[in-house]
Structure 1
Amino acid sequence: MSRYGQLAIAESNIKSITDRIGDLLQVVSLSLGDFFSGTGVVVVEDDYDIPHQVMVDTPVQWFHDSTLKTLKSICTVYSPYHDGFHLLDAELNPIAFCTFLAPKIVGDATFLGALKKNDGSRAYTALFSSAMPGVICTATASRGEQVRLFVNGAEKTWPL
């Protein structure tokens, strides 16, 4: 059981999911190079409970293409869709793209210790979202920086 709620996904499966999402975002970031705009994703169970709002209609084709192909087209500085977080299921299939998240603010100073002094909205949203019911993990990637993963507020990074 996690500090902030029970996850139905076994711990060994969480490791597999976090490894896969870390690798996925690393590939997206490295393949786009200087054109990478950064991104955030939330991997959820079927019964997730995170308030969110899709900010813009997205192409239906994205739900049929691979997640890698779609994220590569979204996460470029030339894409009008690069804002917001993208919701994925435990198989890393898309649920929603370009969403505004409104997670509950939880935790204490220890929990917030996962953040760095100059972290912005994307990191705070990822941290707090990682503690919401039904959220397996969250991940962020910024141009030229490490991929950051959060599971119940604990952070893991993938160097670029």
Structure 2
Amino acid sequence: MQQEQPIVPSVLFVCVHNAGRSQMAAAYLEDLGAGAIEVRSAGSAPADELNPMVIAAMDEDGIDITTATPKVLTPEAVRVSDVVITMGCGDACPIYPGKRYEDWALDDPAGQSLDAVRRIRDDIKYRVTQLIAEITSEPKATT
């Protein structure tokens, strides 16, 4: 008898520039989710590079995101994700039936001080922790 592979849920974080909020959320989900959740991030109008204050704030919490790069949001990324978390990208995110959509109202770290970015980071970490608890406790679909 062949053993079934576990179904791994996937989450897509979307913000405008994919240089701050969505990158922090993706990094926390990668770290705290310990491989139990597939993680993506993208932006509706990606920046050329990550916000340096975001890199510094995440480094303070022991997470190195220096190799992350902003990516463009594609319909395919949304289609293959189970949960789509938007962070101020408005109507730029395509809507597909059967997906879980959430909008997290978070300040944009662009142009903010390190102290302000720390507050945004801590809010994101809390929300990601809650998301992990919800996703990993949801009953799995059976066939």
Q: Same fold (TM over 0.5)?
A: no
TM-score by length of 2: 0.26
Radius of gyration: which is bigger?
Answer: 2
User: Which of the pair is proportionally richer in strand?
Assistant: 1
